A and B are shown apart, each in its own frame.
Chain A
Amino acid sequence: MKGKNQADQIVLEGLYGKYAPMVYRRCFSMLKDDAEAQDMVQEVFLRIYERMDSLDLSQPSSLLWNTATRLCLNRIRDKHRHGVDVDSSELLLTIACADDEQESYEAKNILAKLFSREPESSRTIAMLHYVDGMTLEETAREVNLSVSGVRKRLRGLQAKLKNLEVK
């Protein structure tokens, strides 16, 4: 690994030294398992490394916090879908398993083309607001959206959560 990759590794090492404990605590609080949390920390930093060319690294704490949140939500959802017991609060489980239209857009890479910054999923936004207790303003700052944009995304997700309950 030479040149740019070497330089990226150096940057990643700096980020890791400063933020890995924060990421670990975030993952552990969501997954409730030390080994899984450790594994997830690696996944988070690998994800950042893979996308270093396109990510906005100006706010690493937000980027890492939200990436950890999204990956942990995915892990919880996948475990639940596979019938594995998940040690999560009902709210966290509901958010993790909610359908997220935003993510299907992301999968199609539509929004990624429209915004230079990777858009956050509505599930992550719900976690920040409902579980982490961020105000709407704080959540908006965190995900680089307007307050009304955050409200809209949460309303959209709430409707889906209701549908989920009906099912």
Chain B
Amino acid sequence: MIPDWKLERYLTGDLPDSEMREIREMEATDEIFAGRIKMMREDNRAILKKMPFERLSERLDAMPARSGNGLKGAGSNGAGNGVSFTLVKFATAAALVLAVVTVALFSQREIAVPAQSGAQVMDVAMADAVLAGDEGDTRIKGLEARIEVWKKTADSAVQMSNLDEAREGDEIQLRYLVPEKCFGMLFSMDGNGTVTMHMADDNKAIALEPGKMTTLPFAYKLDNAPKFETFYLFTSTNGFSINIDDIDALFKNKDVRQEHVTLRKVGGK
């Protein structure tokens, strides 16, 4: 009999690999056990429906704003809200030029571009091919806009899930897909409140082409900011921009859709 605490961690994927495999096998072969797991998964959905995050969010909003420590240089000055904005201006064209400079750092390419060399081809590129097929510019029905975060490994890359662990020095590659023509921007925010723009025209969203998974032509190396790094993809059918002094406005803009992936920062490299 597997204790409750272990089952809970199986559901959240927080057990060591060997135990995950063991329990997964049991789920596949033991009908009664599989039924128990199924009920717990249904229970999860019911619980989140019964007590959505919005209820907690109301209490968070009612709390006095926290000052936040550990802010980086300019971010902790008298300006107040703790956000320093490292705006790395990467208009699409400029980013393509930059790609030439940074190609040694990380192998990347738009999905339609043939692979350069066998050793440099990443799993990312393979995934691109499967997703896009030969229909690079057609709308992919049923798909939502999404952002993917990949981490470079010694000879390949692995896709990171929300709340996966990452470390200082990890090389991150971002990819996105939009199901229809729209405007979008990509940026990240770290545990110090520092915002880094990865794809935009200055502070404006750029036009995005639909139907294919697009890999940004440069990698991003995580610094020593603590706790987390969250990557955002904001999209809208209309053009929009971000005000560096009021990022909240973007989060609250009902015309703008947001997708994000958060990596938890742990230890040093």
Contact = CB atoms under 8 A, between A and B. Distances in A.
Q: Are A and B genuine complex partners? A: yes
Interface of A: 1-22, 24-26, 29, 38, 41-42, 45-46, 49-50, 52-53, 57-61, 65, 128, 132-134
A11 B44 contact: no
Nearest to B55: A42
Interface string B161-174: 01101000000000
B191 A7 contact: yes
Contacts of A5: 65-66, 68, 82
A2 B248 contact: yes
Contacts of A4: 66, 68, 71, 81-83, 191-193
B116 interface: no
B52 to A, nearest CB: 9
A132 B4 contact: yes
A12 B9 CA distance: 18
Interface of B: 3-5, 8-9, 11-12, 14, 43-44, 47-48, 50-51, 53, 55-57, 59-61, 63, 65-66, 68-71, 75, 81-83, 162-163, 165, 189-193, 227-228, 230, 246-248, 251, 260, 262, 264, 266-267
Contacts of A20: 47-48, 51, 53
Contacts of B53: 13, 16-17, 20
A49 B75 CA distance: 21
Contacts of A9: 57, 60
B192 A42 contact: no
Contact of A57 (B9, B11, B264): B264
Task: Pick the most buried of B61, B69, B82, B165: most chain A CB atoms within 10 A of its CB.
Answer: B82
8 contacts: A2-B247, A4-B81, A8-B66, A21-B11, A58-B264, A58-B266, A59-B14, A65-B8
Top 4 A-B pairs, shortest CB-CB distance: A3-B83, A4-B193, A21-B44, A4-B68
B70 A14 contact: no
A46 B59 contact: yes
Contacts of A133: 3
Contact of B228 (A7, A59, A134): A7
A60 to B, nearest CB: 7
Contacts of A8: 66, 68
Contacts of B83: 2-4
Contact of B60 (A1, A25, A53, A128): A1
A22 B11 contact: yes
Given A15-B163, A59-B14, A42 B56 contact: yes
B43 A25 contact: yes
Contacts of A11: 227-228, 230, 262
Contacts of B71: 4
Given A22-B8, A61-B8, 12 more contacts: A1-B65, A2-B247, A2-B248, A11-B228, A12-B56, A18-B163, A24-B47, A25-B8, A57-B227, A58-B264, A59-B14, A60-B264
Contact of A14 (B8, B162, B191): B162
